[in-house]
Amino acid sequence: MAGGTSVDPHVKVLGERVVARAKARGIDVLVYAPHFQHIDTIRERAARFTDDDLLVVPAREYFTGTWSNRKHVLAVDPDSPVPDFLSLADTMAELDDQDAAALAPHPEFLTLSMDRDDIAAYADRIDAVEVYNPKHWPRDNRRAREIARESGLPTYLSSYAHVTPTVGEVWVEFDRAVESAADLVDAFRSGAPRRMYHRDGLVHTLKCRAEFCHLGWENSWEKFERVVLSGVEPTHPEHPDYDDRFAAMNCY
């Protein structure tokens, strides 16, 4: 790590198998941002799986906007808890008061992403735009690269791993040592030089299709279980773990 650092800037899964796979693939840093988990829970789990060979950085992918106009924002190592389901404007305003790096994941992908206008409007607060992940189809990656070029912002890619085999398929190599979450935030916010890689070939393509198919699980039984069976999500604005002021900002 002394001369450079390999980072996967966005994974949804974390456990012994994930850690072993990341290390075997030469990943130094994982950014862990599971859906619908409070940042304190994420931070505790990230610390549990961090050791001398792998740094796990806590992050939150916020679900912003209304149900019909959802926008995702990825915050790396946010300082304080911010719930989902606020407007994009309110979420970005909350991030203004934090030292977190703010990333634009999967731009204009399906119905859950920031578009060109959103990225242009918040270009002074967005630190990088994602240009590749395995859930994308080739046309999605081309569109993301075009959006990033138009914005003039730095870029990144990620495994966006929702299933363990995808970990280690994609990484960003920064030109510097990243030994803490603060180091990674600084690398993104300063636009540090980086090289970006992803595996290719038939096996990688099959893993990409498996990641895309996982969307069906996320948006069927997993959503039913979360919304109907589990009660209030840990990231809902009305959850008692958040300041009362957030309840009035709820878009849902």
Percent of the chain with pLDDT over 70: 92
> Mean pLDDT lowest for which of 47-61, 68-82, 210-224?
210-224
Q: Which residue has the higher pLDDT, 101 or 68?
A: 101
Residue 52 burial (C-beta neighbours within 10 Å; 0-12, 13-18, 19+): exposed
**Domain of residue 133, CATH code:** 3.20.20.140
Lowest-pLDDT range, 43-52, 182-191, 205-214? Answer: 205-214
How far is residue 189's CA from residue 127's CA, in Å, rounded to a whole number? 5
- Reported as a single tens digit per residue, the pLDDT across 153-201 is 999 999 999 999 999 999 999 999 999 999 999 999 999 999 999 999 9
Please report the sign of the dihedral spanned by the C-alpha atoms of residue 20, residue 186, residue 174, residue 114: positive
Query: Which of the pair, 122 or 252, is modelled with greater confidence?
Result: 122
Q: Is the pLDDT of residue 119 over 70?
A: yes
Does 228 have pLDDT greater than 90?
no
Structural domain including 156 reads 5-249
pLDDT of residue 148: 97
Q: Would you say 11 and 18 are in contact if contact means Cβ atoms under 8 Å apart?
A: yes
d(CA 233, CA 246): 14
pLDDT score, position 221: 41
pLDDT band at 53 (very low <50, low <70, confident <90, very high): very high
* DSSP per-residue letters across the chain: --S-EEEEEEES--SHHHHHHHHHTT--EEEE--TT--HHHHHHHHHHH--SS-EEEEEEEEEES-TTS-EEEEEES-SS---SSS-HHHHHHHHHTS--EEEE-STT-TTSS--HHHHHHTTTT--EEEEE-TTS-HHHHHHHHHHHHHHT--EEE---BSSGGGTTSEEEEESS---SHHHHHHHHHTT--EEEEE--SHHHHHHHHHHHHHHHHHTTHHHHIIIIIS-S-TT-TTSTTS-GGGGGG---
Count the domains in the chain.
1
- In which residue are the tokens 């002074």 written? 124
| CB burial string 98-126: b at 16+ within 10 A, e below | eebbbbbbbbbbeebbbeeebbeebeeeb
pLDDT interval class at 2 (50, 70, 90): low
pLDDT in tens, 76-95: 999 999 999 999 999 999 99
Alpha carbons 72 and 85: distance in angstroms, whole number? 10
Average pLDDT in the chain: 92
**Strands of 128-132's sheet in order across:** 155-157, 128-132, 101-104, 71-76, 55-64, 29-32, 5-11, 170-174, 194-198
pTM: 0.92
Taking residues 71-76, report their average pLDDT: 97
Burial of 226 (0-12, 13-18, 19+ CB in 10 A): middle
